[in-house]
């Protein structure tokens, strides 16, 4: 997936729904998170963190990590989370691709990734930085080792993505395989290696140590060891995931390669989700001929076999970038939405909702939005579906948005243009609202001439 969108427009939503910007004026925002008192923290791809006060639609910069963040292609500052026990632990977590060559312009060099913890002050400052995962930054990752805390990012894509803090304060982190997206790359096989952080969902405490109940080396008591930090393996690019209600696991979007995208419902530690030998539920063309995949296929029909996805779908040509979103727990949408999992595709520009049965099988897939442009789905403190939009990729065009439901007069989408946009006085300027729309059929009052 390439984190860039060249268009900015309102999504097409079901009847009764409309969207609005909560915070605007952002530059390539990638992720957002709220504090319990209503402040919203926003990560921008280049390495800037911004904060908007409760009820404010603009945000101010509170941290600049552009010298530390490598933002080429799909890399950058991609994840942000607020501690699940913020009242007692006022921490904010930032997940980013780490710049190993600060003197060189961002390019396709091999990198690593890192998770940092900061304390958020009452004045809105991020202080006391501490690297808690991916602490090895001396070079690209060495060979996997249980004592080397390194998050690899050799490829330009699928390195890191989401960080989430559970109600108990534990952290879930997504780490891609870091391998090439264009060739059969043996580095992708690190997803099965239980001494590597590549291609994993990771679970740690707020100091970066493994947690009780780790499944891949249950007898290991040294919680600094890599194997104690692993929650699930066999993932290509778990770019976006959200916590299931009640600490019941994760809804994960794992971005595919050539044929399939998949959504995994990860309820417990220890699962193998198949990549690179499997893509979706099928064997992966190209990788299937590797001897390592033969060993995986031999496990089919046993308890050690790779777990199939809850849902998968075909990529549109080479386009597909699934985004795992929240289970809807709000009260402001129609009753049929309760308990459904929202998912999206960044490249195919849609949002859908999945209905699950008690065994996490998808029983219905319902279209929700088309012409949608976002890089993260989340539920807002008001209980609405929210998302983070790049805008056009140009400075100031990104936003954090919310989707509301309600009968009556809904908010219009305003798009104004001026022709010419500049010139010497005296100057006649024609304003147009041709790009505007009103879900209730109202009419824009422009164009008009101003002299």
pLDDT at 422: 56
350 lies in the same domain as 443: no
Q: Within a domain: residue 1?
A: no
**Burial of 295: CB neighbours in 10 Å, binned 0-12, 13-18, 19+:** exposed
CA distance 331 to 417: 37
404 plus 417 within the same structural domain: no
Alpha-carbon gap, residue 326 to 252, rounded angstroms: 10
Is residue 180, in this structure, part of any structural domain at all?
A: yes
One domain, residues 84 and 223: yes
How far is it, in rounded angstroms, from Cα 229 to Cα 192?
A: 14
Q: What is the pLDDT of residue 430?
A: 73
Domain membership of residue 117 (yes or no) is yes
Mean pLDDT by 10 residues, the chain (451 residues): 57 97 98 98 98 97 98 96 98 98 91 98 98 98 98 92 97 96 95 98 98 96 98 98 93 96 97 98 96 98 96 88 97 96 97 95 97 97 97 95 78 59 66 58 46 48
Pair (122, 241) in one structural domain: yes
Structure tokens at 365: 């897939």
Closest CA to 161 of 355, 337, 1: 1
Give pLDDT, residue 139.
Answer: 97
CA atoms of 234 and 193, how far apart (whole Å): 9
Angstrom distance (rounded) from CA 251 to CA 325: 7
- For 104, other C-beta atoms within 10 Å of its C-beta total 10
Q: Is residue 8 part of a domain?
A: no
Q: How far apart are CA 226 and CA 231, in angstroms?
A: 11
Sign for the CA dihedral angle at 181, 182, 187, 189 comes to: positive
Cα angle, residue 306 at apex, residues 95 and 245 outer, rounded to 5°? 50
Q: Are 216 and 193 in contact (CB under 8 A)?
A: no
Same domain, 242 and 281: yes
Q: Which CATH number belongs to the domain containing residue 239 in this structure?
A: 2.120.10.30
**Is 300 within the bounds of a domain?**
yes
Q: Alpha carbon of 210 to those of 85, 132, 278, 320: distances in Å?
A: 18, 11, 28, 33
Residue 7 lies in a domain: no
**How many separate domains does the chain show?**
2
Range of the domain at 271: 17-408
| 368: nearest Cα among 398, 323, 409, 408 | 323
- Length, in residues, of the chain: 451
- Bridge partner residues of 260 (DSSP): 314
Residues 178 and 240 in one domain: yes
User: What gap in Å lies between CA 216 and CA 209, rounded to an integer?
Assistant: 15
Q: Are residues 378 and 444 in the same domain?
A: no
Write down the pLDDT at residue 446: 46
Q: What is the pLDDT of residue 429?
A: 67
Domain shared by 422 and 393, yes or no: no
Asked if residue 152 and residue 44 are part of one domain, the reply reads yes
Regarding whether 313 and 300 lie in a shared domain, the answer is: yes
Domain co-membership, 416 together with 276 = no
Judge if the upstream peptide bond of residue 426 is cis by omega within 30 degrees of 0: yes
Place of tokens 């960080």: 163
Rounded-to-integer distance, Cα 91 and Cα 348, Å: 35
Residues 71 and 174 in one domain: yes
Contacts of 25 (CB under 8 A, 6+ apart): 58, 59, 396, 398, 399
């Amino acid at each position: 997936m390439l984190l860039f969108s060249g268009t900015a427009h309102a999504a097409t939503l079901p009847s009764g729904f409309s969207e609005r910007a909560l915070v605007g004026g952002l530059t390539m925002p990638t992720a957002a998170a709220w504090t319990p008192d209503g402040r919203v923290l926003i990560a921008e791809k280049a390495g800037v963190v911004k904060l908007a006060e409760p009820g404010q639609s603009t945000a101010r910069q509170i941290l600049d990590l552009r010298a530390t963040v490598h933002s080429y292609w799909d890399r950058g500052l991609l994840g942000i989370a607020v501690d699940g026990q913020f009242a007692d632990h006022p921490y904010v977590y930032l997940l980013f691709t780490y710049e190993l060559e600060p003197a060189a312009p961002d390019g396709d060099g091999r990198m690593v990734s890192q998770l940092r913890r900061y304390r958020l002050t009452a004045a809105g400052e991020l202080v006391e930085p501490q690297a808690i995962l991916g602490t090895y930054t001396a070079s690209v990752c060495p060979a996997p080792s249980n004592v080397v805390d390194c998050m690899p990012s050799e490829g330009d894509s699928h390195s890191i993505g989401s960080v989430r803090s559970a109600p108990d304060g534990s952290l879930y982190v997504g780490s891609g395989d870091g391998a090439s997206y264009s060739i059969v790359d043996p580095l992708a096989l690190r997803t099965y290696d239980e001494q590597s952080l590549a291609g994993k969902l990771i679970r740690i405490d707020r100091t970066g140590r493994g947690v009780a109940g780790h499944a891949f080396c249950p007898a290991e008591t040294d919680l600094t060891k890599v194997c104690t930090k692993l929650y699930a393996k066999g993932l290509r690019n778990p770019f976006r995931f959200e916590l299931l209600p009640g600490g019941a696991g994760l809804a994960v979007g794992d971005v595919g390669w050539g044929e399939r995208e998949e959504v995994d419902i990860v309820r417990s530690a220890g699962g193998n989700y198949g990549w690179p030998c499997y893509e979706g539920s099928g064997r992966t063309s190209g990788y299937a001929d590797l001897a390592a995949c033969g060993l995986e296929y031999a496990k089919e029909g046993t308890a050690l076999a790779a777990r199939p996805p809850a849902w998968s779908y075909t990529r549109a040509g080479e386009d597909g970038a699934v985004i795992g979103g929240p289970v809807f727990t709000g009260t402001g949408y129609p009753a049929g939405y309760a308990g459904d999992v929202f998912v999206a595709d960044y490249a195919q520009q849609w949002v859908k909702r999945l209905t699950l049965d008690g065994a996490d099988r998808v029983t219905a897939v319902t279209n929700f939005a088309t012409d949608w442009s976002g890089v993260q789905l989340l539920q807002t403190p008001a209980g609405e579906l929210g998302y983070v939009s790049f805008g056009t990729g140009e400075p100031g065009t990104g936003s954090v948005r919310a989707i509301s439901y309600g009968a009556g007069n809904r908010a219009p989408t305003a798009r104004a243009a001026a022709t010419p946009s500049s010139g010497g006085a005296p100057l006649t300027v024609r304003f147009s609202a041709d790009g505007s729309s009103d879900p209730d059929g109202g009419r824009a009052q422009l164009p008009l001439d101003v002299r």
